[in-house]
Structure 1
Amino acid sequence: MLASYYGAAAYRELDILGNLENLDVPEDDIDDDVTFFDFSLFTSQFSGKNLVNVDSFGAAGDGVSDDTHAFVSAWKIACSAPNSVLLVPHGRQYLVNATKFKGPCQENLIIQIDGTIVAPDDPSQWDPHFQRVWLEFIKLQGVLFQGNGVIDGSGAKWWAASCKKNKTNPCVGAPTALTIDSSSAVYVRGLTIRNSQQMHLIISRSNTVRISRVMVTSPGDSPNTDGIHITSSTNVIIQDCKISTGDDCVSIVSSSSRIKMKKIYCGPGHGISIGSLGKGNSTGIVSAIVLDTAFLKNTTNGLRIKTWQGGNGYVKGVRFENVVMQDVKNPILIDQFYCDSPSTCQNQTSAVHITEIMYRNITGTTISPKAIKFACSDAVPCSHIVLNNVNLEGKDGKVEAYCNSAEGFGYGVVNPSADCLDSHEDKSDCNQTHHSAETVMLGEKEAENAHDEL
C-alpha cells in the first residue's frame, strides 16, 4: 500500500516504520500480581528479614515532633545489614526535614512506607544546603520502595512564593519530594506522593528502575510540580500510575533512553513531555521512548516534545500509541521554539533534531482548533513523523493540523488530515531561513507555563 502511494521513497518510509516498531525499550517485566514482599505476613522469626522500625529509634509519629534523627539512625542500621526492612508504620505521621539517605547498602533492602512522611511547611525554615531536595536516596542497588503510605511535601507555601504564581516573587528552585539518584535495580511500588514543593519524583543518573501503582497528586495550579521526572537515566518502566499535578505528568530530559510508560492516567497537568532540551545552547539527547496505553483528561498538552532554539543533539525513536484524550488543549505538539523565559527568546539557527516519531491509535477530544502542531525549526526540520490511526475531534467538530518544517506521512485514519507534512520527496520548504510568526508565538505562549528544569 505504501509502495504504490509513495513510489520508490516508500522503501525508506518502510525502514522508518521498522525502526519505530522495533525500538529497543525494556520488556514488560513488571508483574503487579506478584507480591515482592508481603509485610502483612511478616514475622521476624520466619521471614529471615531484619526489621528496623523508625519508632524504635525515637520517632514520635505525631506529625509535630521532628523525627529526622530517628529516620537517619534507622537508615544507618537498615542499610548496613542484609535483608533489612526499614519500616515507617501505618497510622502515624512523621515530620522529617530534608535528608540525604546514602548508599550503597547491603543486599535486599526493603523500604516499607505504610505511614505518612510529611515535610516542614515553611520555606523560610528550609536548610539552604538542601535547596532542591527533600528526601534523596543515593547510590542504591537492588532496593524496593513499597507500601500504602504517603510522602507529603506540604507544598502550599512554596507554591504561593513561586514567581509562577506571583510575578513579583523571585524565581528560585524548590525541593523535589523524592529523588532517586545514581542507583540501579530499584523498584518503587504502591506509594502516594502528594503536594510536593516542586517535582514529585525524580529518577536521576540511574539504570533499571521500575515504578508501578504509584499515585502522584497536587492541585492543577501548583507550579512546576512534575509527577515523574527522568533525567540521565536508562532502562526505566513506569506502569499503572495515576498522576494529577500542575505540570508535566511525566517529563523526560537529556541523556535518557530506553524508557517505557504503560497504562498511565494523566490529568490535570501539562501532559506527557519529552524536554525541554537544548536550553542555553546545550546538547540534549533522548532516544527509544514508548508510551503504550494512556488516558489524558483536561491537560494543557497531550503528547509533547519541546526544545529550545540554539540547542544541539536529537530526539530519535519515539512511539506514542493507544492513547485516549478527553478535552486536551494541545493533543499532539512538537515545539522547537520553546521559550521558558520572562523575555522573548531570540531566533537561532541550531536546534535539537527531532526524528522518527510515531503517533498511533490516538483518539479523543480537544478544546483547541489545532489538534496537531508540528512547530519545527526551518534550519533543522523535524523528519520522519508518522501518524497512524489518529482521530481527534473538536468541541464543534472542526479541528486542523499545523506544520512548519516538518516532514513525514500518515496512513490509516488521520483526522485532522496531516497533509501539511512535507512528503519524503518534497523538501522545498526545508531550506527557508525565516521563522513563521505563528511558530514564534507558540513559543511565547508556552512561556506562560514556564518550567524550572533541572
Structure 2
Amino acid sequence: MEKILGLFTLLIIPLLIINVSCSGEESSSPQSINLWFDGYAEEEQEYGGELQDEMDSFLMLKSEKGARIPVNVDSFGAVGDGLADDTQAFQNAWDVACSLKDAVFLVPENRRYKVNATKFVGPCERNLIIQVSGIIVAPEEPDDWNPKYSKIWLSFSKLNGVKIQGGGIIDGSGSKWWATSCKINKKNPCKGAPTAVTIDSSSGIRVKDLTIQFAQQMHFTISRSEAIRISGVHINAPSDSPNTDGIHITDSTNVAIQNCHIGTGDDCISIVNASKNIKMKSIQCGPGHGISIGSLGKDNSTGIVTGVVLDMAKLTGTKNGVRIKTWQGGSGYVKAVRFENVEMIDVENPIIIDQFYCDSPTTCMNHTSAVKISQVIYRNIRGTSRSPNAMKFACSDTVPCSNIVLNNINLERENGIAETFCNCAIGFDYGVVLPKADCLKSSSCGGTQEDNQKQKHDPIPTHTEL
C-alpha cells in the first residue's frame, strides 16, 4: 500500500525541470623512471591521458537540461525531524526512484533524517541522481543498530552511471561507537563497527560536494568498483576517533579523488589489495595518519597495488605523510607509485615505507616473505618533520625495496637535525635532496655497505600502528 501511495504521489506531482551543474629490475635513471607507468598507458588514454586532463574531464559533471522526476523522501512518509525513524521511507523512495528513468532521489535541505542501516541496491534505470541537500544522521546508540547490517550504514551497490551530490551532510553519530572500540578500551573485544558510506560493485559513479562526518568507523569505502570519481568531499572526525579512515579503496580500478578535505583519526586515504590506477589530486589531510598504501599482507595474504599517483597535497599535523605499510609474511607487490608536489607541515613521519607493520596487541612474528615494493617516486616534497627520521625506508632483508627514487626533497626539523634511515632499500636521488639519502645507494642487504648501515642504526623493531 505504501508503494502504491508513493507512485500515486509521483503521478500527481508535475515534472520538475532541474538544471544540474556540477561543476628483474628496470633501469634506474631519471630518464627512465616515468616508463614505470607505461604499463598503465592504455587506461590513461581511456580516461583522457595526463592526470590534469583526466581529472578535469572526469570530475566536472556536465550540465544537464531536461525533464527530471523528483522522488522526494518526504512524499513517502519521511518526517525529517531527526527523531523519527525515516529508514522505511528512504527505502520506499529508493525503490521508486531506481525504477524510473531520469529520476532524482531527493533528500531536501533544512531537514534532518534519522536513517538506520540500509542497502540501496541497483541496477537502476538510467541517469539517476541522488541529491542529498539535507542531513542524514545515524542512530546514536549502537544497541539500536539493525543487526542484519552490522558492518554498513548507507550502502550503494550494483549501480552504473549514478551521481551522488547536493551539498548535504551524512553524519554517522559515531562517538558511542568509538567509546566501545578496543583501541579506546582495551578490555573490549575488537569487533569492528559499520562503515558510514559504501559504494560496492558499481561503475561510473560520481560523488560531488558532500560532507561525511563522525563515522562509526570508516567514512567512505569504495570496493569492487570501477571508474569512480570523487570531488569536493569533506570528511571530518576527531583525531582520537579509532579506525575512522576517510576514503578507503579496495579491489577497485580507475578511481579519481580531487579537491577533498579530510581530517580523521586514521588514514585520510587508504588504498589496499587489488586496487589499480588510483589518482589523487589537490588533497588536504589533517588530522589523521596520512595517505597510505596498505596495510597489505596480513595473515600471510597476497596484496597487489599498482599505478598510484598523488599530485598536489597538503598534510598538516598528521602522524604520517605518504606511507606504504605491509605486514611480514605476506606476498604480492606494490609498484608504479608516484607522490609529488606535497607540502608537509609538522608531520611526524613525512616519507615512510614500513615492511614491518604490526597493528596488533601482541608481538608479530618474524617472517622471511614480504610484499615486494618497487618503482616508487617521491618528487617535489617539502616541509617539516616532528621526528628525526624525516624519511624512513624500513624494508625486508629478504625482499628489499628497490627502485626508490627521490627528486627535489626538502624536509627539515624545527628543533634538531632531520635524517634519512634505510634498511634494505635500494634506489637513488637527484636534484636537491635534504636530508641526504646516500643510504639508498649503499644499501645492498647482505654486503659490507649494508653491514655498515646496520652498525649506524638500532635493529629494526616490530612496528606498531603509527
Using the size of structure 2 for normalisation, the TM-score is 0.88
CA contact (8 A) 2:321 2:347 kept: yes
Q: How far is the alpha carbon of 1:248 from its aligned partner? A: 0.1
CA contact (8 A) 1:248 1:271 kept: yes
1:235 is aligned to 2:254: yes
* Structure 2 equivalent of residue 360 of structure 1: 379
Give 1:132's aligned amino acid: K
- 1:170 matched to 2:217? The reply is no
CA contact (8 A) 1:156 1:197 kept: yes
Matched, 1:189 2:208: yes
Aligned-pair distance for 1:416? 0.6
In 1, the alpha carbon distance for the partners of 2:276 and 2:405 equals 20
- Per the alignment, residue 125 of structure 1 pairs with 144
Pair 438,174 (structure 1): closer, same or farther in 2 beyond 3 Å: farther
User: Is 1:17 the equivalent of 2:30?
Assistant: no
**CA–CA separation in structure 1 for the residues paired with 2:394 and 2:325:** 10
The answer to which of 10-19 and 224-233 deviates more is 10-19
Aligned pair 1:180/2:199, yes or no? yes
Q: Residue type matched to 2:205 in 1?
A: V
Cα distance in structure 2, aligned partners of 1:10 and 1:259 = 22
Alignment counterpart, residue 325 of structure 1, candidates 332, 336, 344? 344
Q: 1:264 aligned to 248, 272, 283, which one?
A: 283
Of residues 104, 107, 131, the one that matches 2:126 is 107
What does the per-residue CA deviation read over 1:44-99, in whole Å, with 9 as the maximum and x for residues that have no partner? xx831111000000000000000001100000010011111000000000000000
Q: TM-score, normalised by structure 1?
A: 0.90
Q: Which deviates further from its counterpart, 358-367 or 118-127?
A: 118-127
Q: How big is each residue's C-alpha offset from its partner over 1:273-327, in whole Å with a ceiling of 9 and x where there is no partner?
A: 0000000000000000000000000000000000000000000000000000100
Q: Give the unaligned 5+ runs of structure 1.
A: 1-8, 39-45, 450-454
**In the alignment, is residue 376 of structure 1 matched against residue 401 of structure 2?**
no
Q: How many residue pairs end up in the alignment? A: 430
Secondary structure in 1 aligned to 2:162? strand
Of 74, 81, 86 in structure 2, the residue corresponding to residue 55 of structure 1 is 74
Deviation for aligned residue 1:130: 1.1
Partner of 2:227: 208
Q: Does the CA contact (< 8 Å) of 2:397 and 2:445 recur in 1? A: no
Is the counterpart of residue 136 in structure 1 residue 149 in structure 2? no
> In structure 1, how many angstroms separate the alpha carbons of the residues matched to 2:170 and 2:448?
51
CA distance in 2, matches of 1:426, 1:92: 61
- Pairwise mapping of residues 400-419 of structure 1 onto structure 2 (< 5 A)? 400-419=419-438
Amino acid corresponding to residue 19 of structure 1 in structure 2? L
Residues in 2 aligned to 1:347 and 1:48: alpha-carbon distance in whole angstroms: 62
> Deviation string for 1:171-226 (max 9, x for gaps)?
11100100000000000000000000000000000000000000000001000000
* Deviation of the 1:10 alpha carbon: 10
1:402 Cα deviation from its structure 2 partner = 0.5
Could you tell me which residue of structure 1 aligns to residue 175 of structure 2? 156
Instruction: Specify the alignment match of 2:405 in structure 1.
Output: 386
Structure 1 counterpart of 2:240: 221
1:39-50 equivalent positions in 2, closer than 5 A:
47-50=66-69
**Could you say if the C-alpha distance between residues 22 and 363 of structure 1 is closer, same or farther in structure 2, counting changes exceeding 3 Å?**
farther
Equivalent-residue separation in structure 2 for 1:213 and 1:112 (angstroms): 15
Letter of the 2:196 counterpart? A
Change (3 A) 1:94 1:343: same
Residues 438 and 22 of structure 1: is their aligned pair in 2 closer, same or farther, counting only changes over 3 Å? Answer: farther
2:36 and 2:26 mapped to 1: Cα distance?
15
Q: Distance in 2 between matches of 1:424 and 1:406?
A: 6
Which amino acid letter does the alignment assign opposite residue 148 of structure 1? Answer: G
Cα distance in 1, alignment partners of residues 89 and 437 from structure 2: 59
Instruction: Provide Cα deviations, 1:221-256, integer angstroms capped at 9, x if missing partner.
Output: 000000000000000000000000000000000000
Query: Over the residues paired in the alignment, what is the CA RMSD in angstroms?
Result: 2.3
SS of 2:284's partner is strand
- The CA distance in 2 between the partners of 1:12 and 1:400, in whole Å, is 23
Residues of 2 paired with 1:265 and 1:429: CA distance?
42
The one-letter code matched in structure 2 to 1:184 is S
User: Structure 1 residues 140 and 149 mapped into 2: Cα distance closer, same or farther (>3 Å)?
Assistant: same
CA shift in 2, pair 1:424/1:389, >3 Å? same
Task: Give the letter for the 1:325 counterpart.
Answer: M
Q: Does 1:306 align with 2:306?
A: no
Q: What 5-or-longer segments of structure 2 have no aligned partner?
A: 1-24
Partner of 1:71: helix, strand, or coil? helix
Identical aligned pairs, as a percentage? Answer: 59
Once the 2 structures are TM-superposed, how far is the Cα of residue 12 of structure 1 from its aligned partner? 4.2
Cα distance in 1, alignment partners of residues 459 and 194 from structure 2: 33
Q: Which residue number corresponds to residue 270 of structure 2?
A: 251
Aligned to 1:42: none
- Change over 3 Å in CA distance of 1:245–1:386 after alignment to 2: same
